[in-house]
Structure 1
Amino acid sequence: MWIDKVTEILIDAAEIAIQPRFRALADGEVAEKSPGEVVTVADREAEELISRRLLGVVDAPVVGEEAAAGDPRLLTTLREAPAAWLVDPLDGTSNFVAGRSEYAVMAALVRDGETVAAWIVRPAEGRVYVSERGSGTWRDGVRVRREPAPADPAALRGAALTRFLDPPARARVEAATPRFAALGPGTGCAGVDYPRLLDGEQDFVLFQRTLPWDHAPGVLLLSEAGGVARRPDGDPYRPADPRPGLLNAADMNCWNTVRPLLLG
């Protein structure tokens, strides 16, 4: 089955290019690709391996994070091509460089602008999340269904990634923090924050930056498990939409409760 073939490709890439370098990066294997953003030889080798092999599953253009960093025009593929792959070969690179286990390998297949299949592999935990549009979400072969969140904001747990927020927006989040049972900064890895929402460890997550390889996989996984992903104005998420802001929640009631508290 082609879904399983993609899972195998991502696991292989982790075993070949990523895990052997965890806490073992050599001098010269880490570089700054933009201010505050790092890339490693593991990112690049994993993306090359994944991209090459995905073409044998579905022959469609591959929009990889590192390739798009070198040529941002690749992003137009998501609007113009009938189908396209999205690949984040090592999400949470900063965590990986620091020796923290919050990193992931992610991929998604986009058809006519909509995500139709998604994968998140978490090598450090040996966990695999897979979803196909209309067929649900699966964690290690077991179907995942996100339970509704508590109705009371004081019982809700979430994360708000404030790094890319402007000062007024950051101040709103800080002012709202006491209203929740817990509100943290997230892990710095969408490939970990989405599974935590799926698994019930969190009830909502607010993102500001919405790069498609970071969010197309997680949004489909969440939606197929019964959760909700919406732009701040309520619009659905689409990978080719470059607008910032994305609020994900366990269910629509939770989304409607959290949105005015965090976003005004």
Structure 2
Amino acid sequence: MVAPRELSTDQILEIIQQVADEVIRPRFRSLTSDEIAEKGPGDLVTVADRESELQLTAILSRAYPDALIIGEEATAANPGLPPHLLGAEHGFTIDPVDGTKNFVNGKEDYAVMIGEVRQGRTVRAWIWQPEYATAYVAVRGEGVTRNGEQISRALPTADPAGWRGHSARVVIRDRAADAALPQITTSALCCGVDYPKLVTGQSDFLVYGRPRPWDHVPGMLMVEEIGGTALLTDGSAYVPGVDGFGMVVGATEPLATSVRTALGGRLGTRPTPVQAE
């Protein structure tokens, strides 16, 4: 039996771009009403999400038959999938169209994301922004690139008044600015846009609710590679596959700690993760 051929980092990026060109972009600003559905109140899914995830899953499964693959749409059908990532020797996360609501509304702020996890640590990550023709790629220990160019960002200012923070959560944005934190503004409503902005220095922290793996595994590796971190409500570090409410992503650990402390109860409560059986 011939062993499966592993895919290089560049090959996986090319696969993402090809699937986006063939399946996703032809539907951009061309969706019909019967190609859009709701998985839950306000949680949209399109034919582009479903078809692109199927294609990406099939390609990765052929190359890595023993890997656990957790896609957003597969999880909608089988909610028990994400906890398996906590104990997986090898796995991939797929977000076929991150920012689906933006995509449906004809806004360019959407992305295709894949993350690779080995024994609990993310080792490679890809974020492709089709309408901006921009690729962010990270390999653990090798930093982050944007269209092949290495990224570096300046450290945030020590003064909280100068920090730039974003969130999709109204309860977070409603908090009045004070000496501990400035006003937190609306995010791009797409992790595949928000994380690159933090990595490139356009923002300093992000505040999220449930850290679903397909949303956060790729971007968090990129944040870690520039020296940042993510803290959950109880102060513990983000781990791929963990579930819960309230997560602060910061360009540095002290900044993330300060934001988490300042927000306090607004972050919500974090349930204890349940290991997959």
Shared fold, TM over 0.5 = yes
Give the aligned partner of residue 12 of structure 2. 6
Give the aligned partner of residue 83 of structure 1. 90
CA distance in 1, matches of 2:196, 2:111: 10
Q: Secondary structure at the match of 1:72?
A: coil
Give the aligned partner of residue 175 of structure 2. 175
Give the aligned partner of residue 148 of structure 1. 155
Alignment of 1:1-264 (within 5 A): 2-59=8-65, 60-163=67-170, 170=171, 174-177=174-177, 179=179, 180=181, 182-263=183-264
Unaligned runs of 5+ in 2: 1-6, 266-277
TM-score, scaled to structure 1: 0.91
Deviation for aligned residue 1:27: 2.8
From the superposition, tell whether residues 255 and 73 of structure 1 become closer, same or farther in structure 2 (CA, over 3 Å).
Answer: closer
* Cα deviation 1:208-256 (Å, max 9, x = unaligned): 1211100011100110122222223332111221122211111123223
Deviation for aligned residue 1:173: 5.1
Q: Secondary structure at the match of 1:14?
A: helix
From the superposition, tell whether residues 249 and 80 of structure 1 become closer, same or farther in structure 2 (CA, over 3 Å).
Answer: closer
TM-score, scaled to structure 2: 0.87
Q: % of aligned pairs identical?
A: 40
1:78 maps to a residue whose letter is L
Q: Secondary structure at the match of 2:56?
A: helix
2:174 maps to a residue whose letter is E
Q: RMSD in angstroms over aligned alpha carbons?
A: 1.7
Number of matched pairs: 257
Q: Secondary structure at the match of 1:73?
A: coil
Unaligned runs of 5+ in 1: 164-169
CA distance in 1, matches of 2:92, 2:108: 26
Q: Secondary structure at the match of 2:92?
A: strand
Contact kept in structure 2, 1:153 and 1:258, CA below 8 Å = no
Contact kept in structure 1, 2:173 and 2:184, CA below 8 Å = no
1:227 maps to a residue whose letter is G
